[in-house]
Chains A and B, each alone.
Chain A
Amino acid sequence: MNAPNASGWKPEMGPAGSALPTTASGDKGLQLEEALIFELGQAGTYGVDLPEPEAAPVAGLSKFLRKAAPALPGLSEPEVVRHYTRLSRQNYAIDLGPFPLGSCTMKHNPRLNEKMARLAGFADIHPLQPKQSVAGAFEAIAELSDWLITLTGMAAVALSPKAGAHGELCGLLCIRAAIEAKGEDRPVVLVPESAHGTNPATAAFAGFRVESIPANADGRVDFDALVSRLGPDVAGVMITNPNTCGLFERDMKRISDAVHAVGGYVYCDGANFNAIVGKVRPGDLGVDAMHINLHKTFSTPHGGGGPGSGPVVLSAALAPFAPLPFVQRDDAGVAHLIEEEDAAAQGHAQSFGRMAAFHGQMGMFTRALAYILSHGNDGLRQVAEDAVLNANYILRSLEDVLDAPFAAAGPCMHEALFSDNGLAEGFTTLDVAKGLIDEGFHPMTVYFPLVVHGAMLVEPTETESKAGTDRLIASMRALAERAKAGDVTLKSAPHYTPRRRVDETLAARKPKLVWKD
Chain B
Amino acid sequence: MTRYFTKDHEWISVEGDVATVGITDYAQNALGDITFVEVPEAGKALSKGDTAAVVDSVKAASDVYAPVGGEVLEGNPALEEAPELVNTAPDGEGWLWRQSVADAAELGDLMDEAAYAAYIAEL
B56 with A508: CB separation less than 8 A: yes
Select from chain A the residue with minimum beta-carbon distance to B33: A505
A508 with B36: CB separation less than 8 A: yes
Inter-chain CA distance A450–B56, complex, in Å, is: 14
A505: B residues at CB distance < 8 A: 33, 35, 58
* CB of A447 closer than 8 Å to a CB of B: yes
Interface positions, chain B 71-109, Cβ under 8 Å from A, are 83-84
A447: B residues at CB distance < 8 A: 59-60
**A512 CB, min distance to chain B CBs, angstroms:** 14
Interface positions, chain A 471-517, Cβ under 8 Å from B, are 504-505, 508-509
How many residues in A have their beta carbons less than 8 Å from beta carbons of B?
A: 7
Inter-chain CA distance A415–B84, complex, in Å, is: 34
A508 with B60: CB separation less than 8 A: no
Chain B binding surface SS class: loop
A509 with B59: CB separation less than 8 A: no
Interface positions, chain A 442-459, Cβ under 8 Å from B, are 447, 450, 453
Please encode chain B, from 57 to 71, with 1 for each CB lying within 8 Å of some chain A CB and 0 for all others.
011100000000000
A509 with B35: CB separation less than 8 A: yes
Inter-chain CA distance A505–B57, complex, in Å, is: 8
B33: A residues at CB distance < 8 A: 504-505, 508
Chain A binding surface SS class: helix
Inter-chain CA distance A504–B34, complex, in Å, is: 11
A508 with B59: CB separation less than 8 A: no
**A376 CB, min distance to chain B CBs, angstroms:** 41
**B21 CB, min distance to chain A CBs, angstroms:** 21
Inter-chain CA distance A508–B83, complex, in Å, is: 11
Interface positions, chain B 15-59, Cβ under 8 Å from A, are 30, 33, 35-36, 56, 58-59
**Known contacts A509-B83, A509-B84; is A450 also within 8 Å of B60 by CB?**
yes
A508: B residues at CB distance < 8 A: 33, 35-36, 56, 58
Inter-chain CA distance A460–B83, complex, in Å, is: 37
Inter-chain CA distance A450–B33, complex, in Å, is: 16
B59: A residues at CB distance < 8 A: 447
B83: A residues at CB distance < 8 A: 509
Select from chain A the residue with minimum beta-carbon distance to B62: A450
A450: B residues at CB distance < 8 A: 60
**Most chain A CB atoms below 10 A, which of B33, B36, B84:** B33
**A193 CB, min distance to chain B CBs, angstroms:** 13
Inter-chain CA distance A453–B58, complex, in Å, is: 14
Select from chain B the residue with minimum beta-carbon distance to A508: B35
**A306 CB, min distance to chain B CBs, angstroms:** 28
- Which 8 pairs show the lowest CB-CB distances between chains A and B? A508-B35, A505-B33, A447-B59, A509-B35, A504-B58, A505-B58, A450-B60, A508-B58
Q: A453-B30, A504-B58, A508-B35 known; 14 other A-B pairs, CB under 8 Å? A: A447-B59, A447-B60, A450-B60, A504-B33, A505-B33, A505-B35, A505-B58, A508-B33, A508-B36, A508-B56, A508-B58, A509-B35, A509-B83, A509-B84
